[in-house]
Structure 1
Amino acid sequence: MSENKHGGARQGAGRKKGEDTIVKRVPIKLVDHIDKVIATYKGNLPADVMHVMAKTHMQIPLATEGVQAGFPSPAAPYLDDYIDLNEYLISNAAATILVRVKGQSMIKVGIDEGDILIVDRSVEALHTDIVVAELDGEFTVKRLVRTATGVELHPENDDFPILRPGYGSIITVVGVVMSVIKKFK
């Protein structure tokens, strides 16, 4: 009786251990589109994207009273609590990146050139969210607008056009903008 050499575990065979994977079912008609997205994106982000790594925990005093942005009110100089900016600004550190803004297309919502965006890649982008997206290999920050015919990327500056992908164009949402870091000095 001959011994069957087919099937079963063999040392060195199979997919090598790496990062965790997940299987997702997609409609057959979207397979080509998804393959294009994967080929274009390949997990690469622009060179100026910074990954979040909290090296320290720093408790910063938080005043108990809010500060008036309208008419002044008597100050109550009481510090009653502390806040850690890492915990306050970042809900999922493993999926969060920081991106420095270039350009003026989002000035109506207070996003200016040089600001740093806190972008969470694990949050599902919803209609009207501000997102970092890739359109045909170019990265941009815009408002995501879902229409009857698909999605558009809207600027928050009338001097810039709405980005509507043409036939064969690919929009990939990198992540949702959760916060903006702005320095005044």
Structure 2
Amino acid sequence: MQNFQPLFDAIVSGNAAEARTLTQKYIAENVNQELLVKDCIIPAMSEVGRRFECNEYFVPELLLANRAMKECMKLLSSSGPKVGRVVIGTVKGDLHDIGKNLVAAMLEGGGFEVVDLGVNVAPEKFIEAVKAKNAQIVAMSALLTTTMTAMQATIDAFKQAGLRDQVKFLIGGAPITQKYADEIGADGYSDNAVGAVSLAQKVLSR
């Protein structure tokens, strides 16, 4: 059984250079890349998320761990199989991206190909990206109650474009609830980044 503990520790401590070196070493040893993601990278990011929620970690630690994880995924993503393709972004009018970045990172760690559109993303941008990348999931984030309505506007825009049935909508962010997700006709809601991965896997299997 391969020992992934050194890589786990490198990601959790935010050591990007060490994470990259260890990932290269595992690839050279022909480890099962899916196993590496499932048994090491996802648990490491889950631990980072847990520490963040418990106020043991703060935004700087979160970003360092995220960067270390991305170094691993850059090396793995070119060769590893993809579970599905997700277009993600913070909705129009909202410039917050820490939660969105963590969800994107977790989805990558979970084997998804992620197209990150950034912040302040208009409905048309989501539509363009879905068409260009043939994505199955649109993940939207909002941190402000004033920008929540942009989620509804985006789903409506997909309906008008005749694309609603082609994608699943996942939403999240501080003011978002399951009730709101149901109201606007989203396919799923998660209140944390770890849950977003299993939710994405679930909606794809429906």
Q: TM-score, normalising length from structure 1? A: 0.24
**Which structure: greater strand fraction?**
1
Q: TM-score, normalising length from structure 2? A: 0.22
**Which structure: greater helix fraction?**
2
